[in-house]
Structure formats: structure tokens, C-alpha cells
Chains A and B, each alone.
Chain A
Amino acid sequence: MNLQSGPNRGDQPAEGQQSKTERQSVVVRFAGDSGDGVQLLGSQFSQETALAGNSLATFPDFPAEIRAPTGTTYGVSAFQINFGSREIKTAGDQPDVLVVFNPAALKVNHKQLRRGGIVILDSGTFKEKEIKRAEWDSDPRSNGVLADYRVIEIDISKQALECAKPFGVSQKEALRTKNIWMLGLVSWMYDHEIQPIADSLIKKFGAEDPIGKANVAALRAGHAYGEIHEISGELPHVHFPAVKFAPGTYRLISGAEALAWGLAAGSHLAGLEAVLASYPITPSSPILHILARMKQFGITTFQAEDEIAACCAALGASFGGKLGITASSGPGIALKTEAIGLGISTELPLVIVNTQRAGPSTGMPTKTEQSDLYLAVWGRNADAPIPVIASRSPGDCFDVAIEAVRLATKYMTPVMILSDGYIANAAEPWRIPSMADYKPFKVNFRTDPNGYNVYMRDPKTLARPWVKPGTPGMMHRIGGIEKDSLTGNISYADANHQHMTDTRAAKINNIADDIPEQGVELGNTKGKLAVVGWGSTYGPINRAVTNMREQGFDAAHIHIRHIWPLPRNLDALLKSYDKVLVAEMNNGQMLTLLKSQYLVDAKGLLKVSGQPLKIEEVQDAIRAQLGA
């Protein structure tokens, strides 16, 4: 659904002042100390926005430090939300409204604000010491750096202290209600009901809890502040009508949730119990946390001693006849590669989730990137192919996880899912599917010993039979040593190794017959320019191509889900365009893959800043390609 956007504006409203009725969407960014509760404020506000029927996309952007020293720039945590009454595809290139709880948050974020945007700052924290600690040479409120913005100063700290006074809470506890005060104010700004939030606060803390009371008071005070100051016209006050979403029941969902639930759903459809073995790593850990609470869905979780052990334990579970799953991020996936090779050699199902982050090495654990495509497709010793699938958005992770389980069990192979830090943490409205909509793909374990050979194959899928230990009469041995193509006994025969290598490749290549042909998201199936993306760049590419097409540019958007094997028709499809532009958050990995497979003269829009791709960046690249 395309709910129209102004020409050349991306997901942004037109610059300058729009009247209340013209605005279709707004980007708000909250920023403060890691202890200011900015993420809670952001996620609460997102929930409200979703319940108000608006479309939205979020971008939690937090530091690696759990609690950095107060007031420092490296301790700043931020949460950005783009929402409104048209379909939202990204968290927004630039904030229209920046809410900062201290000078450091302003220092880190003010340059991102669009010209003419609004800064709401907590003046109570703009004292000499704090300003200096945030590495400002002088008070930013008076030194001209905010000249291009509208600045609204509110002593939120004082407001919070005042609200909390009657309840006898400590000063520290009182100041911790600043985020809820702000939630009250932004709720007024965007015309959201606050009673449901007040109810949930009372539910969380209990009706008599002084801290709960202080929070409710702060919420109401923030809201009242907006009402009182409405007359001044200083604060925006906008109502975004609900978006006309397709009928259905919706919820907000993050990528990590959707992935975890999708893995459970996939196991269910395969008729299997699952064992997730993982080692804690940012930004993958939420998958472990979520599945650890899903024992009643037949899921066992195992926090292994390291990444290698995690992958090995998952493979051990698959050998035992359950679905082995391991989830990690780049450095952890690198450690798992030998065990993945064992899974390829022994031809056992295994689902590997890679929530990519900026690298190499430790890189920037809390920042996003798409730079593990080589690792996924080619990153193992020897000729060791596996299917690789990428999710494009938080909600899409659900279907991608199901597809990964289907391929792993049908083809007896490890499968890697590529997600990333942005998708994992971001949230979007998601139309909740019914499990009845998914076709089961129940696994049939072989129990008949007659004619059984360990490496006999299904003629169509080339998969070998899956036999559970415990099955009488079918005792067999498997391992990482090359084995006879039928019996599975150790074999060093030259022709056999050639045959096995070819068969392992053919098995994976044949999956191309079992996946959809590559479609075109936007535009025509031939023309001047195809903008090709994969994974989390879906939103910005889609919006950029939409905008450019409205301006008359002949551009199309192709988004690749099945990264290996690639869809059968992709070669011909790419060659039906004069030019191909690959937009990705790495130094040219999909670009290399497509060039190597199809000898296509593609160009790259490559970005590795740890921040998601911006609509404007894609638009500029399209313009450059089409010579306008």
C-alpha cells in the first residue's frame, strides 16, 4: 500500500512549517543518558502510536556501555520513531523533533535534526558542569549552534521533582520520572490518550506505590504542560488519523521477537521439538532470552560455554532427531564455521541465525551492518555450500525463520538466516498471521531398515534420510571424514570425493527450484535502472524508488530474500535493465556475488557508518545513475 508522499521528501514532511492538516508523518528522536529511560520512553510511545492506528518504524540507537558515566557523550542513548497517517517504511532520515535530556544528548544528536526542526531540552541539566562534561566549549543554547532550529526549553528535572514531592520519594527516584513526564508531553503533542498509560503504570507499580504515584503524576503533568502552553503555539500539536491498514489484527513486533517466534512456528510446522544452543552476544541475545521462556512450545534452550560449543550442541540435538538451532552475530558465527562444515558433511538440519553487526572483529556491537554476506555464502573451509536467507524487516523475520526450518529439514542441511542489529531491535506494526495459513512440512524420520543406506538420497531433493538414534536395526556412524556416497563408510576414493562434492553443491543449487522466482517490488520488470537490495535496506530503498518514480525516473526496486541459492530468473531479470545499482550496508558483498554469478556490470551504493541507509542517499545514487 502506498499512501502517497510529497515529491522528493522521502519519509519526511516538507521542510518548513506545515499546517496541522498537511502533515502526514513526523520523526521524533529522544536522547539522554543511558540511565534516563529513553528506550522505555520510546517503546511506550511506540505502543501508544501503534494503538492509535498510525503506521510507524522505530530505531533504538544505544551505546555499548550499560551505564556510562553520567553526562558523557559516549553514554548517550537514543530512540527514533517515524510515525504518521501514511505507510511508514523507515525510521526516518532526519528527526523533525529532537528531545534531549542533557547537554551530551544534544551534542551527539543536534546535527541530525533537519533545518527548522524543534529541539525540546531539559534546561534543568544545562548547567556549567554538565555543559563542559558534554564537551561543549560554551552553552549551546546561546552560542549559535541551534540557530537553525526552534528551541523549547523546559526545566523537566524541576517539573519531575515537583510532581514527586507529595509522594515522599527520593530525589533520585523523582528524577527518574523525567521520561514519563516527557511521555505525557509528547502524548499531548500527538493527541494520544494518556489514561491507558496511567492504568498500565498503576498495574505495574500497584495503586499505593509512591514511585508509581510519582510516575502517574509526572505523566499527567507532562500532558498538562502541553495543554497550558497550547495557546503560545510554541509546541506542535498534531493529530495523525489512523492509517488504512489491510484488515486484520495487528501488534508491534521487533525483529528478535519475530525471529524467535518464527523458529518456534517452523519447528511446529515440521512436527519437531527444537533445541536452541547459544552463547550471549550483542545483538543476538534476545533470541535466546525469548526462547528460554518458551519451554511449553517444545523448545529447550542451552547457554553453551562458547560459540563453538553452541553450534556443536545444536548439531548434536539434530543428530538426536530434534531441530538444532544456534543464534549469534558475526564474531560468533566465525567461530561456528567448523561445526557448520560438520553439519554440511554429515548432512544434518541446522538453523543458524546471524544478527549482523558492524565489524570486523568486535567492531561496533550495538551498530548495524550487512557485512556477513561473504561469511554466510562463502565463509567456510573447502566447498561447503548452504542456503542463506535474509529478512527485510522485523515482521518479515517470522516468515524467514519458518522458511529456514523448512529448507533445513527438507534438504538435510544447515541454513543461515541473515538479520541485523537494526532489524533485531526495531519495531513495526505487524499483521498477525494465523498458524492455519501456513502449510505444515512434517518431517518423516526413516524407521525402515530394509534397503537403508546412510547416504542414500531422495532423487528429487538429494537429501539423505534422517534416522533417530534409538531406532532398532538402523545403527550407523557419521562423521566429518569423507564418506562413501552410499554406505557412509569412510572413503578416500578420488572419484567418490568428486561425486560427493558435486552432490553437496547440486543439493543446495536445486533449492532454487523450490523458492519463488525473484519479483520486482516496485516498477517494471525492465527499464533503465534496477536498485537491488537485501535485508534491512528494504525500507529506504523502497521509499526512495517510490519517490523517484513519482518524479518520473525509470527506476525499479528488486529485493533479494534468497541469497543462496539465488532465484533462477535473477540473471535474466537483472539483464533486462540498462543499469543495476546494489544498495547495501557493507563494502560491496552482494555486488560481488551478483557480478561473480551473472557477470553483470552493477554499481554499488555502499555504506558502513553503523547507521541505517537513508532515503536521501538512495535517491542521490539513483539520480547519479540516471544522469539527472
Chain B
Amino acid sequence: MNIQTPPEKLSAKDFASDQEVRWCPGCGDYAILKAVQIALANMGAKPENTVFVSGIGCSSRFPYYMATYGFHTIHGRAPAIASGLKIARPELDVWLVTGDGDALSIGGNHLYHILRRNVDVNLLLFNNEIYGLTKGQYSPTSRIGQKSPSTPTGSIDSPVNPCQFALGSNARFVARGIDIQVKELGELFFRAKEHKGASFIEIIQNCIVYNDGVFSDFAEKAVAAEMQVHVKHGQPIVWGKTKNKGLRLNTKTLSLEAVTIGENGVTIEDILVHDEKNKVLATLLSGLRPPEFPEALGVIYCDPAPSYEQQVKAQNDAAMAKGPGDLDKLLRGGKTWTVN
């Protein structure tokens, strides 16, 4: 798609609706909302061609705050609604906003299918590892032992890794960002919009009320340099204040090792170079978890393939090229007889 520049360049404010934002003060959603509005303005999006579709949950109130078209739907089903919308109107720019409960619990089935079909939508999954709107129950991404109203003695569910779920569903674009990193998120949104097909972005989001600080071991500014690795295609995977830490592939165990350049004979030549099209690497990167490893952020995987709705359109156009259907002819096709 050509990103057209409107006659007058819109600002982030032009993408904000007149509705009062009603998330809890200090919620990570505010930063994400701002990041989206800024990014849409920067990429020259047209509000009338932009649609935000959401499910149910705190994050799913998102469409009400955007001065675009919006559809706040039902719990878990936003991917199905968005699929129908894209099939009907391939030219629209559709964004899907969801949370860890909405997308990975009640809507897990639909998330899997929209990714595998490669419907051209941009999926923003706000992961706060908790159910916020229903007041603090554990979610499919909550860690084992999470205490919540429904797990007073600790959760025993094994959590799902959203990016690995997306990769397993054959998503062609998988990325991860953090709510407060507005600039980096903007870059991810831009890439997602450019990508033709389903773009999946996990956004690490802090729930200040029910799960405050659950990501503090890597998301907070104080530890960011040492505990985050921002991957870039074609560049060595390094982090740290002096960029002296890197990832090395252990070819015997087929696993990643965090190493320090300049120690134990490790040189920059030993460090893995990020390749967005390498799904095995993407899977390994997605699985890195503090404290042993930094959290991998950025575009982890991007390997485009034809989008679903463009293929639907191609089949429809091919049929239509034979001429539009004639209903009277259809009804009279096959064996008929006439009574005078």
C-alpha cells in the first residue's frame, strides 16, 4: 500500500477522539495510546480509512479514544470481526487491540486463525499478565505461583509466551515493545503498517493496580540497558551500556548463550547477527527471559507472504472477469420445463 500524505499533515491530536480516557491513572495504556496517535500522524494515516477493532478488557476500550472508525466487539472475537471486515473491505487499514486474556484465553482460537491465514491487520496485544477489568484474576501469561483472587494459593497454570504462540501460528511478522518506549513502539507500528499480512506486536504493559512492577526486572529505565536487547535486522545482537554483551549460538545444544565481548576470548565475530527471516532464531529470541537473558525487543521476525484478503480478492476478481452473474440465467440453469 502507498502511504499517502494527506493535504494537511495531521497531528497526534487529530487522532484523539473527544472522549475522556478512563484508564487508571498511571496505566501503561496511556503511553501506548499516545504512541499510536503519534505514529499514525507520522505515517500520514487517513482517519477515515483507519479502523480500530477490539475485544473486551481494559485495552479494548482503545477504539473509543481514537478519532477513526472503531468497533468495540465481544470478548476474544475481535480477530474474527476484523477478518470479516478485511474480507469485505481489503483497502481499509485495520488495527486490532487486545490483551493477554482477550487474545490468548477466550480468543486463543481466533488469534491463531487470523495469524495463520495472514489477514492484513496490525495486532497490538497489551500483555500485563493479569485480568484488569474483572479485577485481578491470573491470565494465560501469568507466571506460575501468581497469587490472585482466583488463585489465592498461587497459579499452577503454565504460562504461554505470546510471541512464540504467534510464531507457532505461522505469523509472518512478530515484534515486541514496551509501553513506555514510545519512540521504539512508533517504529514497530510503522513496520507493522508497512507489512502486508498479519502483524503481531506484543506490548509489555504495566498494570499499576493489579500487577504493578511485574516487568520491573527488565522494563524499568534503571535496568533497561542491561536487561533489554533491541534486535535489528543485519546487526549483531548486542546490549549493555557499552554494547559489550551479545548472544552466541551454542551449536551443540542449539541454544543461545549470553556472552561478554572481550571476555574468555569472545569477539564480535562470535555474536549472532539478527536475521528477521530466520524463524528458528525468532523462536529462540522470543523465549529469552530475565534474569539469565535480556528481554528481546524490536522486530523479531518478518518474512512476508501474500495476505489472505488479497488472495480472496484475486479469486473474486478472476470470477468477475468472466462477467457479472445473471440471476435470471442462474435460476434457469440446469433442467427446466415450460407449462403453457
Is A bound to B?
yes
Q: Which residues of A contact B (CB under 8 A)?
A: 47, 50-51, 53, 244-252, 261, 264-265, 268, 273, 275, 277, 294-298, 300, 302, 304-306, 308-310, 312-317, 319-322, 324, 338-339, 341-342, 346, 432-435, 468-481, 489-490
17 A-B pairs besides A317-B85, A320-B84 with CB distance below 8 A are A53-B339, A249-B332, A251-B334, A273-B88, A275-B87, A302-B87, A304-B83, A305-B110, A305-B112, A312-B77, A315-B84, A321-B89, A470-B48, A477-B64, A477-B69, A479-B70, A490-B64
Q: How far is the CA of A324 from the CA of B71 in the complex (A)?
A: 15
Asked if A316 and B83 sit within 8 Å, CB to CB, the answer is yes
Q: A51-B337, A338-B74 are in contact. Are A475 and B323 (CB under 8 A)?
A: no
Q: Mark B1-36, 1 if CB is under 8 A from A, else 0.
A: 000000000000000010100000000000000000
Asked if B339 and A478 sit within 8 Å, CB to CB, the answer is no
Asked if A296 and B322 sit within 8 Å, CB to CB, the answer is yes
Chain B residues with Cβ below 8 Å from A268 are: 327
Asked if B80 and A479 sit within 8 Å, CB to CB, the answer is no
Of B63, B70, B91, B332, most A-chain CB atoms within 10 Å:
B70
Option from B52, B81, B337 in Cβ contact (under 8 Å) with A313:
B81
In the complex formed, the residue of B with least CB distance to A341 is B74
Q: Mark B100-118, 1 if CB is under 8 A from A, else 0.
A: 0000000001101100000
Chain A residues with Cβ below 8 Å from B81 are: 312-313, 315-316, 319
Asked if A481 and B109 sit within 8 Å, CB to CB, the answer is no
Option from A244, A277, A432, A480 in Cβ contact (under 8 Å) with B84:
A277
Q: How far is the CA of A309 from the CA of B111 in the complex (A)?
A: 11
Q: A302-B83, A321-B89, A469-B48 are in contact. Are A342 and B340 (CB under 8 A)?
A: no
Q: How far is the CA of A473 from the CA of B48 in the complex (A)?
A: 7
B67 interface residue per 8 A CB criterion: yes
Asked if B80 and A316 sit within 8 Å, CB to CB, the answer is yes
In the complex formed, the residue of A with least CB distance to B76 is A308
Of B66, B72, B91, most A-chain CB atoms within 10 Å:
B72
Q: How far is the CA of A317 from the CA of B87 in the complex (A)?
A: 7
B152 interface residue per 8 A CB criterion: no
Option from A50, A247, A300, A477 in Cβ contact (under 8 Å) with B87:
A300
Option from A251, A265, A310, A477 in Cβ contact (under 8 Å) with B72:
A477
B316 interface residue per 8 A CB criterion: yes
Q: A309-B80, A470-B89 are in contact. Are A298 and B73 (CB under 8 A)?
A: no
Chain A residues with Cβ below 8 Å from B88 are: 273, 275, 300, 316-317, 320-322, 324
Asked if B338 and A250 sit within 8 Å, CB to CB, the answer is yes
Q: How far is the CA of A306 from the CA of B77 in the complex (A)?
A: 11
Chain A residues with Cβ below 8 Å from B312 are: 300, 302
Option from A245, A300, A305 in Cβ contact (under 8 Å) with B316:
A300
Asked if A302 and B84 sit within 8 Å, CB to CB, the answer is yes
Chain B residues with Cβ below 8 Å from A294 are: 325, 330
Q: A475-B47, A478-B70 are in contact. Are A246 and B339 (CB under 8 A)?
A: yes
Q: How far is the CB of B171 from chain A (nearest CB, A)?
A: 15
Q: Count A-B contacts at CB 8 Å.
A: 200
Asked if A261 and B331 sit within 8 Å, CB to CB, the answer is yes
Chain A residues with Cβ below 8 Å from B63 are: 477, 479
Option from A247, A304, A471, A475 in Cβ contact (under 8 Å) with B339:
A247
Asked if A305 and B109 sit within 8 Å, CB to CB, the answer is yes
Asked if B336 and A250 sit within 8 Å, CB to CB, the answer is yes
Asked if B92 and A470 sit within 8 Å, CB to CB, the answer is yes
Chain A residues with Cβ below 8 Å from B113 are: 304-305, 309
B255 interface residue per 8 A CB criterion: no
Chain B residues with Cβ below 8 Å from A265 are: 327
B319 interface residue per 8 A CB criterion: yes
Asked if B327 and A297 sit within 8 Å, CB to CB, the answer is yes
Asked if B334 and A275 sit within 8 Å, CB to CB, the answer is no
Asked if B336 and A296 sit within 8 Å, CB to CB, the answer is no
Q: How far is the CA of A432 from the CA of B110 in the complex (A)?
A: 41
Of B19, B113, B335, most A-chain CB atoms within 10 Å:
B335
Asked if A320 and B89 sit within 8 Å, CB to CB, the answer is yes
Q: How far is the CA of A536 from the CA of B332 in the complex (A)?
A: 25
Chain B residues with Cβ below 8 Å from A295 are: 315-316, 319-320
B51 interface residue per 8 A CB criterion: yes
Asked if A296 and B324 sit within 8 Å, CB to CB, the answer is yes
Q: How far is the CA of A311 from the CA of B110 in the complex (A)?
A: 12
Asked if A342 and B109 sit within 8 Å, CB to CB, the answer is no
Of B79, B328, B336, most A-chain CB atoms within 10 Å:
B336
Q: How far is the CA of A488 from the CA of B113 in the complex (A)?
A: 31
Q: How far is the CA of A435 from the CA of B329 in the complex (A)?
A: 10
Chain B residues with Cβ below 8 Å from A53 are: 337, 339
B235 interface residue per 8 A CB criterion: no
B155 interface residue per 8 A CB criterion: no
- Which 6 A-B residue pairs are closest in the complex by CB-CB distance? A479-B72, A316-B84, A313-B84, A477-B70, A295-B319, A312-B80
Asked if B335 and A51 sit within 8 Å, CB to CB, the answer is yes
Chain A residues with Cβ below 8 Å from B87 are: 275, 300, 302, 313, 316-317
Q: Which of B38-55 contact A (CB under 8 A)?
A: 47-49, 51-53
Q: How far is the CB of B29 from chain A (nearest CB, A)?
A: 16
In the complex formed, the residue of A with least CB distance to B110 is A309
Q: How far is the CA of A478 from the CA of B51 in the complex (A)?
A: 11
Chain A residues with Cβ below 8 Å from B229 are: none
Asked if A261 and B339 sit within 8 Å, CB to CB, the answer is no
Asked if A250 and B337 sit within 8 Å, CB to CB, the answer is yes
Chain A residues with Cβ below 8 Å from B316 are: 295, 300
Q: How far is the CA of A185 from the CA of B100 in the complex (A)?
A: 66
Asked if B48 and A475 sit within 8 Å, CB to CB, the answer is yes
Q: How far is the CB of A286 from chain B (nearest CB, A)?
A: 15
Chain B residues with Cβ below 8 Å from A342 are: 73-74
Chain A residues with Cβ below 8 Å from B67 are: 475
Q: A245-B339, A309-B110, A320-B84 are in contact. Are A474 and B48 (CB under 8 A)?
A: yes
B181 interface residue per 8 A CB criterion: no
In the complex formed, the residue of A with least CB distance to B91 is A470
Asked if B51 and A469 sit within 8 Å, CB to CB, the answer is yes
In the complex formed, the residue of A with least CB distance to B71 is A319
Option from B68, B109, B324 in Cβ contact (under 8 Å) with A475:
B68
Q: A264-B327, A320-B84 are in contact. Are A252 and B335 (CB under 8 A)?
A: yes
A–B complex contacts, Cβ < 8 Å, 19 sampled: A249-B332, A251-B332, A264-B330, A297-B324, A300-B87, A304-B113, A305-B109, A309-B77, A309-B79, A317-B85, A317-B88, A319-B81, A469-B69, A470-B89, A475-B47, A475-B68, A478-B72, A479-B63, A489-B64
Q: How far is the CB of A305 from chain B (nearest CB, A)?
A: 4
Asked if A481 and B72 sit within 8 Å, CB to CB, the answer is yes
Chain B residues with Cβ below 8 Å from A310 are: 80
Asked if A433 and B331 sit within 8 Å, CB to CB, the answer is yes
Q: How far is the CA of A617 from the CA of B49 in the complex (A)?
A: 60
Chain A residues with Cβ below 8 Å from B109 are: 305-306, 309
Q: A261-B331, A471-B48, A475-B67 are in contact. Are A316 and B337 (CB under 8 A)?
A: no
Asked if A432 and B332 sit within 8 Å, CB to CB, the answer is yes
Q: How far is the CB of B320 from chain A (nearest CB, A)?
A: 6
Q: How far is the CA of A476 from the CA of B110 in the complex (A)?
A: 25
Option from B19, B80, B85, B319 in Cβ contact (under 8 Å) with A308:
B80
Q: How far is the CA of A124 from the CA of B327 in the complex (A)?
A: 48
Q: How far is the CB of B307 from chain A (nearest CB, A)?
A: 14
Chain A residues with Cβ below 8 Å from B237 are: none
Q: Which of B242-264 contact A (CB under 8 A)?
A: none
In the complex formed, the residue of B with least CB distance to A326 is B84
Asked if A312 and B84 sit within 8 Å, CB to CB, the answer is yes
Chain B residues with Cβ below 8 Å from A473 are: 48
Asked if B92 and A469 sit within 8 Å, CB to CB, the answer is yes
B82 interface residue per 8 A CB criterion: yes
Q: How far is the CA of A317 from the CA of B71 in the complex (A)?
A: 12
Chain A residues with Cβ below 8 Å from B82 are: 316
Asked if A432 and B83 sit within 8 Å, CB to CB, the answer is no
Q: How far is the CB of A562 from chain B (nearest CB, A)?
A: 25
